[in-house]
């Protein structure tokens, strides 16, 4: 008997950006393999996209792959590609929450979020969160989540994210790094099916501090934390110089890398696999992925945006929900 699989629910994201068009092209690429359900205003989808508006999310699985099932939300004023409308902001936020509800209610297997525009949400809906990740954590009532960037070439986690570089040494703490490592290891076990994950831990300073001559964090506490967690049974290596962690032979020795700050993590994955990187939130009680790009207002509505990252995000969400 063929297994009935729940759809991946796709939240529309900022409708003035490229989210609707890359979701449409991803559906066209994956429709025969991955069941999907799109949340948003169907007027924002490309006009040539076959779709069917459904009232009950349970109907999504009954649809043929010839039309994208849509749970409609009326956004009111028409969309202008490249220019967010303030009246759309609250609907963008509502769609995210609606997507979370569908997954948590067992009506979808995972949530894939199209890009949002944080300033548009702040200006139009008093959105109080730095981004998707923090809002999803609040909806799930969890304190600690981890942002993983993943592709076939590399999985990497920044221990600190959207803060100024000068703030990183202040916010990087033993407790915070420990939780990042713990959540990453648990996510690799539970959602990626890796029984004994191998994690490589970067140093904060050049050459991992070079024995304290280029910074003291590695000597004072990072190395100690790694040893403590090794003694607890985790497979960790480090602290390693970040400039030698990401070539092919080094990557073969670990399942994911923990970086100390945003660019230390994102530069290697965007260099190795710019179009296919996926943002995965670990630590949530449900699966969430997202393409690793923004709203791209400068090319929105032109039909030239690459759907590669959205395709990989949907595919990865489905694979995490239904591992082989």
Contact assessment for residue 60 and residue 91, using Cβ atoms and an 8 Å cutoff: no
Number of independent structural domains in the chain: 2
159 and 140 in a single domain? The answer is: no
The CA–CA distances, whole Å, from 305 to 19, 289, 300 equal: 9, 19, 7
How is residue 302 annotated by DSSP? T
Give the per-residue pLDDT at 58.
77
Answer whether residue 279 is part of any domain. Answer: no
250 and 220 in a single domain? The answer is: yes
Give the per-residue pLDDT at 1.
34
How is residue 34 annotated by DSSP? S
What is the distance between the alpha carbons of residues 2 and 259, in angstroms, rounded to a whole number?
42
7 and 132 in a single domain? The answer is: yes
CATH of the domain at 12: 3.40.718.10
2 and 122 in a single domain? The answer is: yes
164 burial via Cβ count (<10 Å: 0-12, 13-18, 19+): exposed
Answer whether residue 177 is part of any domain. Answer: yes
Answer whether residue 15 is part of any domain. Answer: yes
What is the distance between the alpha carbons of residues 215 and 209, in angstroms, rounded to a whole number?
5
Those residues whose C-beta lies under 8 Å from the C-beta of residue 145, and which sit 6 or more positions away, are: 133, 134, 136, 137, 183, 281, 282, 283, 284
pLDDT in tens, the chain (324 residues): 346 789 999 999 999 999 999 999 999 999 999 999 999 999 999 999 999 999 888 777 655 678 999 999 999 999 999 999 999 999 999 999 999 999 999 999 999 999 999 999 999 999 999 888 899 999 999 999 999 999 999 999 999 988 899 999 999 999 999 999 999 999 999 999 999 999 999 999 999 999 999 999 999 999 999 999 999 999 999 999 999 999 999 999 999 999 999 999 999 999 999 888 999 999 999 999 999 889 999 999 999 999 999 999 999 999 999 987
7 and 121 in a single domain? The answer is: yes
Answer whether residue 2 is part of any domain. Answer: yes
34 and 94 in a single domain? The answer is: yes
What is the distance between the alpha carbons of residues 281 and 288, in angstroms, rounded to a whole number?
6
Contact assessment for residue 75 and residue 114, using Cβ atoms and an 8 Å cutoff: no
177 and 232 in a single domain? The answer is: yes
Answer whether residue 198 is part of any domain. Answer: yes
Answer whether residue 224 is part of any domain. Answer: yes
4 and 73 in a single domain? The answer is: yes
| CA 188 to chain centroid | 14
Answer whether residue 51 is part of any domain. Answer: yes
- Residue given tokens 């009111």 in the structure block: 76
6 and 74 in a single domain? The answer is: yes
What are the start-end ranges of the H helices in the chain? 19-30, 89-104, 118-125, 132-140, 168-171, 174-190, 217, 223-231, 248-251, 262-272, 308-321
52 and 97 in a single domain? The answer is: yes
**Domain range for 210:** 153-272
Answer whether residue 278 is part of any domain. Answer: no
What is the distance between the alpha carbons of residues 10 and 99, in angstroms, rounded to a whole number?
7
Contact assessment for residue 138 and residue 38, using Cβ atoms and an 8 Å cutoff: no
252 and 179 in a single domain? The answer is: yes
pTM: 0.92
70 and 133 in a single domain? The answer is: yes
């Amino acid at each position: 008997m063929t297994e009935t699989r729940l759809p991946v629910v796709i939240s529309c994201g900022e409708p003035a950006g490229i989210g609707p068009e890359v979701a449409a092209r991803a559906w066209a690429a994956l429709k025969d393999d991955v069941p999907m359900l799109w949340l948003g205003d169907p007027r924002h989808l490309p006009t040539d996209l076959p779709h069917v508006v459904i009232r009950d999310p349970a109907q999504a699985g009954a649809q043929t792959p010839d039309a994208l099932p849509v749970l409609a939300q009326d956004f009111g004023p028409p969309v202008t590609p490249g220019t967010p409308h303030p009246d759309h902001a609250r609907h963008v936020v509502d769609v995210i929450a609606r997507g979370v509800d569908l997954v948590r209610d067992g009506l979808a297997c995972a949530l894939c979020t199209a890009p949002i525009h944080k300033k548009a949400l702040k200006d139009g809906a008093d959105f109080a969160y730095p981004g998707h990740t923090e809002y999803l954590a609040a909806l799930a009532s969890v304190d600690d989540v981890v942002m993983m960037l993943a592709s076939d070439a590399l999985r990497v986690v920044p221990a600190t994210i959207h803060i100024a570089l000068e703030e990183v040494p202040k916010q990087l703490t033993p407790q915070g790094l420990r939780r990042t490592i713990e959540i990453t290891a648990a996510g690799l076990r539970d959602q990626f099916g890796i029984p004994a994950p191998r994690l490589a831990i970067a140093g904060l300073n050049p050459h991992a501090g070079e024995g304290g001559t280029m910074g003291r964090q590695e000597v004072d506490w990072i190395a100690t934390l790694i040893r403590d967690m090794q003694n607890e049974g985790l497979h960790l290596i480090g602290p390693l110089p970040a400039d030698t962690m990401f070539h092919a032979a080094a990557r073969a020795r670990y399942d994911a890398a923990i970086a100390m700050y945003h660019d230390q993590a994102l530069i290697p994955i965007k260099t190795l696999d710019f179009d296919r990187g996926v943002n995965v939130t670990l630590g949530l009680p449900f699966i969430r992925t997202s393409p690793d790009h923004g709203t791209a207002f400068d090319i929105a509505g032109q039909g030239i945006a690459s759907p590669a990252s959205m395709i990989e995000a949907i595919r990865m969400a489905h694979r995490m929900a239904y591992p082989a």
